[in-house]
Amino acid sequence: MENKRTTNSLPASWFHKKKLFEYWIKEWELRGLDNIKGYKPLIEIMNYSYLSESKRFRPVLFLSCLESLNQPLVNGKYTALAIECIHTYSLIHDDLPCMDDDDYRRGQLSAHKKFNEEKAVLSGDALLTLAFELIAHSNHPNTAKMVAELAKASGMNGMVAGQLMDIEATGQKGDLESLEKIHKCKTGALIAVSLKLAAIRANQSVDIQEQLYNFGIKLGLMFQIRDDILDVSGSQGLGKTVGKDAEQGKLTYPSLIGLEESQKYLEDLSNNAKKDLIELNLGQSELSYIISFLTNRTK
């Protein structure tokens, strides 16, 4: 497929994979997959968040890396769906009144505003556990390792740990080191493991797996820095309410080092990430376009 750059610096092939992923979701719609079935009222609540319009960045990143490693996209179906389950559950819980207390997500009411807190919590719980059931259906010799890596990146060593660090840092003075630690876990871990899972699925060496994971951590930091910049200077799009971080006293890159330095740091990370791809012999792959997208995205 021709890789013409779009206005937000992503190639046409990226949107082809996004369209394929959306087809997989709509084809399924949590109605049932092989032996995976569920309680219909709960599925309705899960679908509300899971099927809502979004960038689908993490599952498509996984598919992009899988393709760059010469693997058929269909081999990544269940894992891509699982990654999006984890991400969606995290957003549902993030928006709860006891957490970030946000009324909107992905251009619509947050799950707890549409339904209620109890139903939102349970739909998040169901999506979290469904992720591992999905990977178990991937029918690959490395399935157990994939489950372990996704669990590690999602839980007490990754995303959830980062969420707690973020809560503890709210309203407190911090430094760049502590902010990096938060977002390497909260944002970076799930993005990084999406790349590592592709490498595992493609039977790459442990060294390549780790190199791609470390590259993914850089992408995660870039994603977060740009998010922080857009929270100050952007307009409400598919994400959370603009200005919410400042309102809640969150520790962010602009609040810590200013907008100009945040943008400079983002560009430095971008240059380092490009060097990583060259070392991986993936400098001409679709992954290079993603670096540009993360540096310049507007929503």
Using alpha carbons, select from 210, 183, 214 the residue that is nearest to residue 199. Answer: 210
- The gap from C-alpha 119 to its chain's centroid, in whole angstroms, comes to 23
Instruction: Report the pLDDT value the prediction gives residue 6, as an integer from 0 to 100.
Output: 43
pLDDT per position as a tens digit, 116-160: 999 999 999 999 999 999 998 878 899 999 999 999 999 999 999
Q: What mean pLDDT, rounded, does the chain reach?
A: 89
Q: Which of 4-8, 38-42, 231-235 has the lowest mean pLDDT?
A: 4-8
Q: What residues contact 49, with CB distance under 8 A and at least 6 apart?
A: 88, 91, 92, 105, 106, 111, 123, 127
pLDDT per position as a tens digit, 12-32: 999 999 999 999 988 876 665
Q: Which of 114-128, 162-176, 202-216 has the lowest mean pLDDT?
A: 162-176
Residue 277 to residue 297: CA distance in whole angstroms = 20
pTM of the model: 0.90
Residue 182 to residue 179: CA distance in whole angstroms = 5
- More confident site: 5 or 119: 119
pLDDT score of 5 more than 50: no
In terms of average pLDDT, the best of 27-31, 95-99, 192-196 is: 192-196
Instruction: Report the pLDDT value the prediction gives residue 36, as an integer from 0 to 100.
Output: 64
Q: Parse the chain into domains and list their residue ranges.
A: 12-296
- The partner residues of 105 in beta bridges, in order of sequence, read 108
Contact present, 196 and 276 (Cβ < 8 Å): no
User: What is the CATH architecture assignment of 12-296?
Assistant: Orthogonal Bundle (1.10)
pLDDT score of 170 more than 90: no
Q: Categorize the per-residue pLDDT at 298 as very low, low, confident or very high, splitting at 50, 70 and 90.
A: confident
> H or E segment at 276?
helix 259-279
